[in-house]
Amino acid sequence: MKPSILITGGAGYIGSHTAYLMSQSGYNIIILDTLNHKQSFDHNWATLIKSDFADTKVLKNIFSNYNIKAVMHFAAFIEVGESVKNPLQFYENNVVKTVQLLKVMLEHNVKNFIFSSSCAVYGSPQYLPLTEQHTKNPISPYGKNKLMVEMALEDFNIAYGLNYVNLRYFNAAGAMPQYGLGENHDPETHLIPLVLRAAMENKEFCIFGDNYETKDGSCIRDYVHVWDIAQAHKLALEYLQAGNTSDSFNLGTGEGFSVKEIVMAVEQICCAKINIALKNKRPGDPAILVADPKKASDILGWSTQYSNLDFIIRTAYENENTKNFIQNKSSTQKDKEKSHNYNKI
């Protein structure tokens, strides 16, 4: 039987890119996803099971019927602002259910776990770039959720021999439209797709705060291409399979771009002038978040190959165009069906 990987949230943005890469690396891919975020998943390189990732019955079936070598856990609620408004749901989904998943894994002796963590575990930077040793003082329920799972993993490693890698993502961006993959959140809150939509649809774009202590007053973030993030998951699995110690790694480039720089880069690529509105700062947004990726480079052998800003924006742009094309095509199809029905009447 081909070795399998269980990927929770594998129909989502980072999960789907990683699932595709792992399928191309010789694994049988089982995706567990509720598809609650209206994403479509129309690919033949994975088996999609539409279910909650903590459904014990479904999990037991999967672990009994497939030769699962590892679980990659992407499924989570991700909106930081929403986590402040509705922490109960976030603690339940991101912490309690993850522990439930780990419990069923351990019952079936599945012992390799790769966790989608976040730079949100650090809170406000005491120094930059952020190394993995930086104090962990998350300022949102979302960041606390990620840290709690990391802490549980550390304890489960000691007590039950569960092996894990925490991958602390900085700002995932870009797409792989040639594989039919891209960012498709609903609602979309992330910077690059929103700036692109403003350029493409001549809509206003809101900058959240322009009096930060940065070179141009807007926030600085470390944008890393989603395909580089996918590669890190593959390396993390190889790392665990080689019997290495469970550990945490930053996934970022080490370089930061301001919101205004992103806007200018999008204007150039889309040949458009974007209408800017200045809005209040988002609560909990630190001025600068930039990774020190040295540990992932030294230990996992990871380096970014796709994360130059131009490639990130161009692939994200292509993804937006592809989505528009598909939407227009399906509404034309619906119009045809409507007129067909009308003709029949």
In 152-225, at which residue ranges do the beta strands (DSSP E only) sit?
163-169, 171-173, 204-208, 220-221, 223-225
Which candidate in 142, 164, 212, 223 is catalytic? 142
Q: How far is the CB of 226 from ligand UDP (least distance, A)?
A: 13
Q: Which of residues 156-185 bind ligand UDP (CB under 6 A)?
A: 171
- Asked if 274 interacts with ligand UDP (CB under 6 A), we say no
- Asked if 259 interacts with ligand UDP (CB under 6 A), we say yes
> Is residue 112 within 8 Å of residue 71, measured between CB atoms?
yes
- Asked if 290 interacts with ligand UDP (CB under 6 A), we say no
- Asked if 130 interacts with ligand UDP (CB under 6 A), we say no
* CB nearer to ligand UDP: pick between 63 and 170: 170
* Identified binder of ligand UDP from the candidate list 43, 221, 234, 260, rule CB under 6 A: 221
- Asked if 207 interacts with ligand UDP (CB under 6 A), we say yes
Residue at 231: amino acid letter: Q
* CB nearer to ligand UDP: pick between 171 and 250: 171
d(C-alpha 71, C-alpha 52), whole Å = 15
Helices 259-270 & 191-201 angle (0-180, nearest 10): 40
| Strand arrangement of the beta sheet that strand 28-33 belongs to | 47-50, 28-33, 4-8, 68-73, 112-118, 163-169, 247-251
- Asked if 208 interacts with ligand UDP (CB under 6 A), we say yes
Residue at 255: amino acid letter: E
* Identified binder of ligand UDP from the candidate list 35, 194, 272, 299, rule CB under 6 A: 194
> Is residue 197 within 8 Å of residue 203, measured between CB atoms?
yes
142 carries an active-site annotation: yes
* Identified binder of ligand UDP from the candidate list 189, 241, 268, 324, rule CB under 6 A: 189
d(C-alpha 108, C-alpha 59), whole Å = 10
Active site residues: 142
Q: Which residues of the shown chain bind ligand UDP in the complex (CB under 6 A)?
A: 171, 189-191, 194, 206-208, 219, 221, 259, 282, 285
